[in-house]
Amino acid sequence: MKKRNQLLTLIMAGVMALSPAAAFAEETEAETQEAAVETEAAETEADGTEAADGDVFPFTLVTKDDQEVTFTHVPERVISTNPNTGEQLMALGLGDKIIGTCYNNAQLPEQYREEYESKPVISDNNGYPSLEVVLDLEPDFIYGRSSAFSDSDTAIATHDTLSDYGIMSLSSIEGYKLGCDVEDVYQDFYNLGKIFQVEDKANEIVDGMKAQIAAVEEKIAGTEEVRVFNFDSERDGGAYTPGNNFTSKLMRHAGGVNVFEDLEKTWNNVSWEAVVEADPEVIVINDYGDTTADEKIQFLLDNEALSDVTAIKNENFLVITLPEVFASTRVGDTIEKFAQAFHPECFE
């Protein structure tokens, strides 16, 4: 019996002697597993993906001409090809990422003008840079109007070509979609929010525009639509004017109707006879280029063929800048500006 007790004592002592080693082994194993998790998380962060909540890189967006662009990381070196697209980026707090701009001759809101004009201009005021100039700047993202992305000598390159050079790119939807409406501008911001991982800011901007537009539509509810002619310029003995495009939709939200909105193209040439027949009540003047808005107005007033047009007789003109009718944060402001001109009685 005494021997048995001694044996049990030795066994217990052995167990106690082994316990610290066993505990250390378990702790080491736990630390190894934790380190592996931390390493995996670090690698995930390094390649720009997210392991849990949020959008995950890589992802693909379809843009102009149904071309697909794959986004692999948050861009750091960005080219804005147009003032309104630069405005969108700056509104999202991304101005510090812009390394080059184009078309700086357009009017921007005061809150963004100084920042945008402080950026390097990489082309003259009437065009886009060549692909060679762009490649020398080593951007990882180009955002702009659709006119910047084609095989044309006046464009930079197609989205597919830029992808081949490892440059991500995107066209603002408003520039290429027939019948574009405010929802497409919202999608621009959602896309940019996803690309730059600033979804909260994008949602904030969109919600603000939605609220402003809803307030305007409520104010003009029950009014009759006003006939509107948008004069861009004289061309080929007639007028260059928008058809089924974003400007027409902005007018609709403001209680107006573009007298040429049924034309299938976004931009069209129409005869002066067609303008007379449509008899617009308001004429919207696009203010840009070498011909001033006042000169365009005088040209219309001097056109004897238009003398019986209601808007001409009443000299009812509204001047706008092009960025006001392009995709930007100013969509709500433009609709309100249109509504005040179309239905001033609702804003007294």
**Residue 106: what pLDDT?**
67
Q: Which domains does the chain have, with CATH numbers?
A: 59-171 (3.40.50.1980), 222-347 (3.40.50.1980)
The Cβ of residue 117 has, within 10 Å, a number of other Cβ atoms equal to 13
Terminal CA-to-CA distance of the chain, rounded, Å? 110
Q: What span, in angstroms and rounded, lies between the C-alpha atoms of 112 and 95?
A: 9
Q: What is the pLDDT of residue 56?
A: 78
Whole-number pLDDT of residue 5: 44
pTM higher than 0.85 for the full model?
no
Mean pLDDT per 10-residue interval, the chain, length 348 residues = 42 40 38 40 37 68 98 98 95 98 81 91 87 98 97 96 98 95 98 98 98 98 98 96 96 98 94 98 94 97 97 98 93 98 97
Q: Which residues contact 254 (CB under 8 A, 6 or more apart)?
A: 216, 220, 335, 336, 337, 338, 339, 342, 343
The Cα 327–Cα 144 span in angstroms is 10
- Report the C-alpha gap between 84 and 90 in whole angstroms: 10
